[in-house]
Structure 1
Amino acid sequence: MKKIVVLVPFIFVIVSVLGQQVPPNYRFVKTWRITDQFATVDSIPVDTMHLNFQISNPIDRFSIANSYNGNLGSPIQSKLYFDRPANNDFIFSNAYYPYLMNIDHATFYNTKTPYSNLDYKTGGTTYRSEDNIKFLFTANANKRLNFGTTLDYVYAIGEYGNQSVKRFSGSLFGSYQGKHYTATGLVAINNLSNFENGGVADSTDITSPKGKATKDIPTRILGFSNYKQSQLYYNQQYSIGIERPVRVNEDSVRLDYVPVTRFAHTLKFDDLRKRYYEPQLVGAPFYNNSYFKQTNDTSALSTLTNTFSVSMEEEFNKWLQFGLKAFIENEVQSYTFNTDTLVNHMSKTSTKVGGILSKQRGQLFKYNVLGEVSFLGYKAGNFKLEGNIGGFFKLWNDSVSLVASGFVRSDKPSYFLQNYQSNHFRWNQSLASIYRTQMGGTFAIPTRSFSLNVAVENLSRYIYFNGQAVPKQFSGNIQVLSANLKQDFHVGKFTLENNVVYQLSSQKDILPLPDFALYHNLYYHDVFFHVLSIQLGASVRYHTSYYAPSYMPATGQFYNQSTVKIGNYPVVNVYANFHLKRTRFFWEYYHVNQKFANDAYFSMPNYPIDPAMTKIGISWNFYD
């Protein structure tokens, strides 16, 4: 509290100084992201949101319900099936996905003046704080060439013993938008280190508090995980086109360049490494096996991907009104896992071809269909057919969005799911390809703050980690149904945001999911003196009880268990957000209900979430 009392006046002094008005014509910032291996652009708004700044941390933004180790930066898995990213060939990456800087999470810019952002968040009890500082700088050398850099640092001690996390990620990025030649590049590094405590030794220290400080509650093990990811990405495109006359007014005509054919090449190199270390050998009852006297396991995967494509642009084809793309992709992978003095190394290559048929112009009717098949190498036989179709329609006085999507795909399991050796776990098995079929659709009325997404997926030969925390393949079929409803209500200055998710798994012992997950956010919002935006509110997250997967530190995997149910416990937060010109600030009291309702506030078996604490954050934007 002393830190808050000192910091709040200081923050408002800074706000008054930095909140100087910049002429709007100098604050132009265009932002976009890359959505696939062909560098398809998806425009996004600049991250200067006035509302809900308090949920900008990676855990809250990932999903409304998550399994994690209780600390910012720790391994995480969404409890919502359709929020989970596609499995990585390097299975140890899956638990760190929301924290990584790579091409999937990179933002690219085009600015009139240099643009930078400094963001700082902190929270926690005395001497157990979590700190996160982020920095962004980007500028244009000219109207076509942009470059920039990002830094993101997390240091979170954690409320419980042997739980601290340290994370650093950084990137250099750039883009060039020429008449014929365009390019997008990214170099990113990630280094995440976290202690592994195996959860609290006695869950009654949480359910029936004995007066211990959280840091003094015994934990089950002392381990250490380190995950590193480096990525080099470069996409270049060259177009051949024509000059088409466009009438500006009655007296003048200008020539616009229209691309006809586009040639593209994407180079991507990923180097992924995971290490698990225990300073003292941990045996039963936590582990079933220990093959060596020391635990110092490392695994690595490097992947070099080259994709070449040629496309006929939709803008030129005025008769058939669609775009065509054909591509070929080659992938070379090198696998390594070390156990004490044992080193295993394997290299594999695969090649696939595919094509895309698309129509993205107009609002009424859009579609995109992709088909690809691996015909050579390790992944020969893999195939994917996916597509989406939809657009905007008028329904009375409202604009309605209706989109349908789906895919059929077959994928060979990761090499690490079939072959792995470490001090505590070893497996060598032949697994069949996983076959998935998914269909879904979204019906939305943006003007009514309404959205409903319904999806169903059938999984054949699904691979999961069983009660012994080793991979196992289910020989039958699993169906997953999900309905995700979002509806906001506005009454004067008050807003109630609602997100309700229903899930049904046909094999709950193989693929356990909570039936319902809820997020509600009630707040008051107003603007004072025409410049100061204030949001005061409270939010709650909740999901029904189920046999939530547990977590295995030695492999970094979430595995099934049927002993302890997790859930049926709300987490309530109260907060205040302020936005003044170029500065944002929030104050939040997290998990406020823990103060008067001590209960089983666990994220997973033996892994409690943080107790009640204060969190604050501030963000500055600079347009010069």
Structure 2
Amino acid sequence: MNKYFLFFIFFFSVLSFSQKKLAKDASINLKDNSKAKPIVSKPSSGSDANSEVDPKVKPPIDLYKIYNLQKDSTYVDTTLTIQSEYKYNLLRKDIFGLLPFSNEGQTYNTLDFGLIKKRTQPTMGFTAKHFNYLESDDINYYSVPTPLTDLYFKTVMEQGQSLDAFLTVNTQENLNFSIAYKGLRSLGKYVNYLTSSGNFRFTSSYFTKDKRYILNAHFTGQDVSNQENGGIINTNDFESGDDRFKDRNRIDVYFEDATSMLKGNRFFVDHSFKLSKTNPNSLMFTHQFEYEYKFFEYTQPTVSSRFGTSYSNRISNKTRYNQMYNKVGVAYTTKSYGDLSFFIDDANYNYYYASVIYGNTGAIEIPNSIADRINMFGGNYTYRIKDILTNITVSQSISEPSISNIEANAKYRLNDAIAFEFNYKKLTSLPNLNYTLYQSNYINYNWYNNFKTEKTNEFSFAANTKWVNLSAEYKVLNDYLYFDNTTNDITSLLIKPVQYDKTINYLSVKASKEIKFWKLALDNTVLYQAVDQTDNVLNVPQITTRNTLYFSDYVFKRAMLIQTGFTFQYFTKYYGNDYNPLIGEFYVQNEKKIGDFPMVDFFINARVRQTRLFLKAEHFNSAMTGNNFYSAPNYPYRDFMVRFGLVWNFFK
């Protein structure tokens, strides 16, 4: 990723002077927008945020627009709220429902099953390695009156740092560029646990003066590299509290030389053209293009018996994947009858290895590739009745295999303080490609399957009120796919993909509420989950909770806002999924439970103008509550450590 970083430095220096500067006495109006809420905008290029700005006038913060492909827009938030604390992590988002591993940049165990989203078409798989890999829907686009820079820095576990640097600029009112690089290096506390990753992003947005043509495009170059130690061998060494093992490097791990790497590049374009210059009720043509190439590689110079026997004395597995996607549509917008659109898409993918595997008869038993083309046809209808917004999307494949998706959504806003949302989704999806085909130097990790499509019926409800924010989700799963350990022994991993032939019913209810009194606040989030199934295939903790008690006040003649308090996190004991680094996936196990341990953090945060400072004592109760804290059965959670950093915004 060094070439992307050097390109970023060069581009930063050029663009810093490419836009008209404000007058010397003009600074950004950073009024307190702690009560700011996301603004749902009409489909646009974000141009409303970038009207002509008088250089002598302070641009308000809400002119610095951020929007996604769905055209939902927000503006840059420089406030210090409890959400700022929750989002101050490598993923730059609230990770409630995700349990991180001991080192920054490793994977996350999923406590909230509702966070797992399915799609009709297959993905490459290796999902445990994709948490820090930005997909197309994760990329934002911008419109700003003056250049905007965002710098994120945070210390890591040992010998390294985490940095995310971002710059966006409008060279013209209707033309925006942004460039960013997120880099991470962290040695970790355990043997062979180094993480190193880089995420380069470049975006551009453009619209014509008459706003008939709108373009959003991006390029990403990403790599996620992890040393993989397979977890600790003897959990008694960790749990005993013996002073010898407080230095975690002394605890024996399964692998001392294994490494995994996920790397990919993506080009993406989304644009539209409106047929009429003046008539608002006009046809609009849309096109979306995506090309992505990526690979997952696992190397291990020393063969481990934990995965069984092998073909060679050195393991080097490499799975390659590329995809070209095109989606063409036509839409018609009316004021009285809503918006109607139709589309057809073409997904052409290739998933492959360098060799084939022959069976005993001499015939090819496991091929080296899966190549397919999937075409789908669908439509979308959106209609607003006063304060009710409804949306229906239907899509169906017109090629084999048969897959489909039906989504219905209704939103109702009673007033500024109360809103409701209802969703229904019926999805038929193809298995991820690593369920169908996988090759390895380990003999037992070679398979070629012909699974059925997965079927999901999902109902969800959300209510945001001044009393409580409440959401509920109910899923009915059929032909559910998962990875299972055929040995029923976590010390020996012979993992295979399995399709469950019975129905699984899943229910979740989440409630959140912040209670404020004087300068104190108590922020609470509680998640309840229940699963009805014949076998223990989908395992989740029944209760997951996060409670934060904090104090906020201005000091130094209101020049600084401070925020300090405690965050308590907890989840009930359950058979948590275990992690297999060879295939980059979590698998179901029913031998060891994890959970039922408190995680308490103490933090002191501060804001000075547009700079936010963060200091946290993470899991400071670890020595008080016993060494029974795990992210997965053989992977301990994080020990007590102190970390600090900042988020700094520049407005030129």
TM over 0.5: yes
Residue 132 (structure 1) aligns with: 162
For residues 198-597 of structure 1, what are the structure 2 equivalents within 5 Å? 198-211=230-243, 212=245, 213-222=247-256, 223-241=258-276, 243=278, 258=280, 260-283=282-305, 286-313=306-333, 317-320=334-337, 322-338=338-354, 344-359=368-383, 364-377=387-400, 380-394=401-415, 399-424=417-442, 425-445=445-465, 447-448=466-467, 450-468=468-486, 469-507=495-533, 509-528=536-555, 529-597=557-625
SS at 1:417 equivalent: helix
The 1-side partners of 2:149 and 2:126 are apart by 30
CA shift, 1:479, in A, is 0.5
CA shift, 1:538, in A, is 0.5
SS at 1:215 equivalent: helix
The 2-side partners of 1:471 and 1:479 are apart by 21
The 1-side partners of 2:598 and 2:461 are apart by 29
Residue 96 (structure 1) aligns with: 129
Residue 72 (structure 1) aligns with: 104
CA shift, 1:341, in A, is 10
Taking a change above 3 Å as real, the CA distance of residues 200 and 472 of structure 1, as seen in their structure-2 partners, is same
The 1-side partners of 2:411 and 2:151 are apart by 39
Deviations 1:165-216 (A, max 9, x none): 0000111101013221100000001101001101011111221122120122
CA shift, 1:418, in A, is 1.7
How high is the TM-score relative to the length of structure 2? Answer: 0.84
Residue 149 (structure 2) aligns with: 116
The 1-side partners of 2:629 and 2:386 are apart by 46
- Please, which runs of 5 or more residues in structure 1 have no aligned partner? 1-19, 244-256
The 2-side partners of 1:404 and 1:278 are apart by 48
Taking a change above 3 Å as real, the CA distance of residues 21 and 280 of structure 1, as seen in their structure-2 partners, is farther
Residue 246 (structure 1) aligns with: none
Residue 12 (structure 2) aligns with: none
Letter in 1 for 2:399: L
The 2-side partners of 1:339 and 1:566 are apart by 40
Letter in 2 for 1:492: W
CA shift, 1:62, in A, is 5.3
**Comparing 75-84 and 402-411, the one that deviates more:** 75-84
Residue 13 (structure 1) aligns with: none
The 1-side partners of 2:238 and 2:355 are apart by 36
Contact 1:95 1:556 survives alignment (8 Å): yes
SS at 2:72 equivalent: strand
SS at 1:163 equivalent: coil
Letter in 2 for 1:72: E
The 2-side partners of 1:115 and 1:357 are apart by 36
Taking a change above 3 Å as real, the CA distance of residues 585 and 565 of structure 1, as seen in their structure-2 partners, is same
**Comparing 415-424 and 557-566, the one that deviates more:** 415-424
Residue 3 (structure 1) aligns with: none
CA shift, 1:82, in A, is 0.4
Residue 45 (structure 2) aligns with: none
SS at 2:185 equivalent: strand
Number of residues of Structure 1 aligned to a counterpart in Structure 2:
571
Letter in 2 for 1:81: F
Letter in 1 for 2:479: R
Residue 37 (structure 2) aligns with: none
Q: CA RMSD in A?
A: 2.1
Contact 2:597 2:625 survives alignment (8 Å): no
Deviations 1:93-142 (A, max 9, x none): 42233312332221211111111112111043xxx245101101010011
Taking a change above 3 Å as real, the CA distance of residues 110 and 118 of structure 1, as seen in their structure-2 partners, is same
How high is the TM-score relative to the length of structure 1? Answer: 0.88
- 1:32 matches 2:63: no
The 1-side partners of 2:386 and 2:73 are apart by 16
For residues 43-58 of structure 1, what are the structure 2 equivalents within 5 Å? 43-52=73-82, 53-55=84-86, 56-58=88-90
Contact 1:292 1:340 survives alignment (8 Å): no
The 2-side partners of 1:148 and 1:291 are apart by 47
- 1:42 matches 2:47: no
The 1-side partners of 2:548 and 2:205 are apart by 38
CA shift, 1:27, in A, is 5.2
The 2-side partners of 1:345 and 1:561 are apart by 30
> Percent of aligned pairs with the same residue?
22
- Please, which runs of 5 or more residues in structure 2 have no aligned partner? 1-24, 30-57, 359-366, 487-494
Structure having the higher strand fraction is: 1
Contact 1:54 1:587 survives alignment (8 Å): no
